[in-house]
Structure 1
Amino acid sequence: MRKFYIIEKTDDEEKQIWQLKEAKINEYLTFYSFNESLEKFIELAKDDESSRVWFHQNGAFRGSMSFEKAHTALELLHEEHIESESATEYLVSKSLIESTSTKKEEDKEQQVTQEITNETKIYPTIVSSEKEKTSKWFWVLIWILIVLILICIALTSFGIYKLYN
């Protein structure tokens, strides 16, 4: 299976262009209409009908299309007189561009998510429970001392009372 990419972008003169690229080949074919780029894909991929083309627009993945659907899409674009600027959105709305991601892309997304999660994971700090016990025992001792002081005051008062009576 041969893989192709149609990338929509703007050139130096702010004109919208479509670049067709075959996977693992660093050569771009530039077109000034979407239909021309799709026609060139069909021409290049006719030897291997299992070929697919992936669409990128505004720097984002939009979906992919099989060789068979490319013929249907091209006919539909000619019949409906769809402008090149809106062709990708139109084909997505007609479900000719499949926007579901492949297994490799899902695995890659999961791996990236896992890496980000691992990097941002906050590990719990171990807090000693003795601090709570120390705090509890501290207040127990304070109350015992208060009770003893009150007993001492009561006994002293009782002793003074007995002394003078």
Structure 2
Amino acid sequence: MAETKKPSTLQRFYISEFFDKERNVSFNLKKANVKKLTNFSEFVDAVQEFVNIAEQSNKKSKCWFHRDGAFRGCVDVDGARRILGIFKENKVENKDAIEYLEKENLVEKPAAKAKKEVNLDEEALKVAFVVDKAASKKANEVKKEDIQAISKYKVTIESIVPNGSELDVYYFISNGDKRSDVVMSKLEGFGTECACAPVVETPVRYHNHRKDRTFWTLLSLLVVLIVINIILIILRAQGIL
């Protein structure tokens, strides 16, 4: 069976600073969930009105003070009476009223939330690095001061090691007196040295095909003449001719 949520018995009031065009300060008193508000030129009058309303109610009441876009603390009826006495005794000016409450610890403030423990080793892996005009530099030309780290924590670069066309950056981050382990990030996108073999010019030699044809024609004729002479010699030797 679902439980019915009981309505809150706490009455909430708010006193906030209000400035006119001439920057004269006054104070608005407003009850939570009620559109109507009442403006007071004196801070102590706004606080006194809260006390008067709270005393006439059978519900518990608290008043929150608002300044510069944020709540600065709250008080119950007894705390409001104490404020009235202190302000009248010390003649606190309106322009300093809510700031004075904070300074003198006259208001209750919510307990600060415990900060979540940050894993710096994990955060170190999120660091990004930028090298200006990286493409125009070789990896072995980059210095520590050329590298910009992007992180919400302090980044300390321990060393940089060129690795071919890449650069290995060893670094750690710190937050107060705590620091991460040293981690390595590999940077790319640098210019590279040309590994091409030197070009050797070879003179071009042109072959004269016309001279070749003349040579072979003459050689062929010479062979034919030699063969004919041999045949004639043989025929004469046999008395045929």
* CA distance, structure 1, for counterparts of residue 107 and residue 58 of structure 2: 19
* CA distance, structure 2, for counterparts of residue 87 and residue 48 of structure 1: 29
> In 2, are the aligned partners of 1:4 and 1:41 still within 8 Å (CA)?
yes
* CA distance, structure 1, for counterparts of residue 12 and residue 111 of structure 2: 15
Give, in angstroms, the shift of residue 69 of structure 1: 0.5
CA spacing shift, 1:28–1:12, aligned 2, 3 Å? farther
Structure 1 residue runs of 4 or more that deviate by more than 3 Å after TM superposition: none
* CA distance, structure 2, for counterparts of residue 100 and residue 58 of structure 1: 18
Which residue of 107, 110, 116 maps to 1:100? 110
- The structure with the larger Rg is 2
TM-score by structure 2 length?
0.40
TM-score by structure 1 length?
0.58
In the other structure, the counterpart of 1:57 is: 67
Between structures 1 and 2, the one with greater strand share: 2
Q: How does 1:123-138 map to 2 (within 5 A)?
A: none
Q: How does 1:13-92 map to 2 (within 5 A)?
A: 13-46=22-55, 47-48=57-58, 50-92=60-102
In the other structure, the counterpart of 2:19 is: 10
Between structures 1 and 2, the one with greater helix share: 1
* CA distance, structure 1, for counterparts of residue 58 and residue 93 of structure 2: 29
* CA distance, structure 1, for counterparts of residue 92 and residue 103 of structure 2: 13
* CA distance, structure 2, for counterparts of residue 8 and residue 59 of structure 1: 9
In the other structure, the counterpart of 2:223 is: none
In the other structure, the counterpart of 1:127 is: none
Deviations 1:31-76 (A, max 9, x none): 1111111011111111246200011012211111111100011100
Q: Which runs of 5+ in 2 are unaligned?
A: 1-9, 114-241
Paired letter, 2:82:
T
Share of identical aligned residues, percent? 31
Return the structure number with greater relative CO, CA threshold 8 A, min gap 6. Answer: 1
CA spacing shift, 1:101–1:44, aligned 2, 3 Å? farther
In the other structure, the counterpart of 1:155 is: none
RMSD (CA atoms): 2.0
Give the count of matched residue pairs: 104
